[in-house]
Structure 1
């Protein structure tokens, strides 16, 4: 089943990417993309940004206005400031509630499409061979383990293939992470200036001569 082999590999790759990047980071990124597309959420987000710009403009003008010399203008700006602040808080609360709902639906969809399939596919295709091992190349206990738990002896089961994909991808991701960490550490060491590197040549000798004098 080549298509099922690829599907299992893609699911395990997605799980590793999610674990490496972080579910919260992915939710935030998808939320930003959603707010930039022509969806009702993007309209709500645009209204909130417009209201925030108006609030900041009135706030700057209010700060620049004297409450003693220009009391009438200051009082008018103060009322506008308070009203805009109240509207902005309401829109922010509504937007936060929309984002929380969006995150909840996105998390549910992600869990179903990754963790759910990780459990469902081995259960449903537990008896199906993914591919067959060359006949007579491996001892019986290897063939039995490769077919665990319910696939025919001599074949590789979906569970073992899933384990193999998980182990290989975990090793690759850990190796890449270690290489990136070592590269970042070496760059930081190179960026640190060496002590005494900025001293002029002969400075030590001249100081020694002064001590002798």
Structure 2
């Protein structure tokens, strides 16, 4: 029974990741990674942006003709700040690219890779046995490729779990869409009676 639940959990986690979206998870994980391991880089980037904006504001308020020395000094400061920010952004982008490769590898390993390993390791095991004669010639297909005859193999159970989860997803989406449509119809139905009462 534990193999049955383990495979279902693996398939469910894989589908959950696809529902949430790998890019959303990547952004969440990367922001957490930045805060935990590279907080100084993040703080330095934010501080530099704030300084550049403050200097730019002061530069805009300074007249280039009347206060040329101050304006030139502020201009050099803005240019230097932008160059430093560009280097910092390149470092952050390189860091994010490296993190993205590792994160995608980890997600693949924990979902698809783990499903392959479990499927290969338990390829000759039965997830559960079927009552004799219920499915006739289909019993061979349900035990495909190496599970004992009259049982459900790991591969077939993975496909069945994936299919049931996808059907469940579609049903939930349809229910949500129908409930939102019925709520909108209810609002539309109540609107004319409100307008009539206002006119009376």
TM-score by length of 2: 0.85
Aligned to 1:16: 15
| SS of the residue 1:69 aligns to | coil
Aligned counterparts, 1:29-40, within 5 A: 29-37=28-36, 39=37
Counterpart of 2:169 (choices 170, 173, 176) is 173
Aligned to 2:79: 82
| Distance in 1 of aligned mates of 2:177 and 2:77 | 52
Superposed CA RMSD: 2.5
Aligned to 2:151: 155
Measured at CA, do residues 65 and 20 of structure 1 come closer, stay the same or move farther in structure 2, by a change above 3 Å? same
Aligned to 1:123: 120
Aligned to 1:92: 89
Aligned counterparts, 1:133-144, within 5 A: 133-134=130-131, 136=132, 138-144=134-140
Q: Number of paired residues?
A: 196
Q: If each structure's helix is expressed as a fraction of its own residues, which one has the higher value?
A: 2
| Distance in 2 of aligned mates of 1:60 and 1:109 | 44
| SS of the residue 2:137 aligns to | helix
Compute the displacement of 1:121 (Å).
2.0
- Mark the runs of 5 or more structure 2 residues left unpaired by the alignment: none
Compute the displacement of 1:42 (Å).
2.8
Bigger radius of gyration: 1
Aligned to 1:146: 142
Instruction: Give per-residue Cα distances to partners, 1:174-202, cap 9 Å, x unaligned.
Output: 222233334455566758xx79x879849
| Distance in 2 of aligned mates of 1:145 and 1:36 | 51
Counterpart of 2:110 (choices 113, 134, 146) is 113
| SS of the residue 1:140 aligns to | coil
Aligned to 1:206: none
Aligned to 1:103: 100
Measured at CA, do residues 198 and 68 of structure 1 come closer, stay the same or move farther in structure 2, by a change above 3 Å? farther
Compute the displacement of 1:104 (Å).
1.0
TM-score by length of 1: 0.80
| Distance in 1 of aligned mates of 2:17 and 2:55 | 43
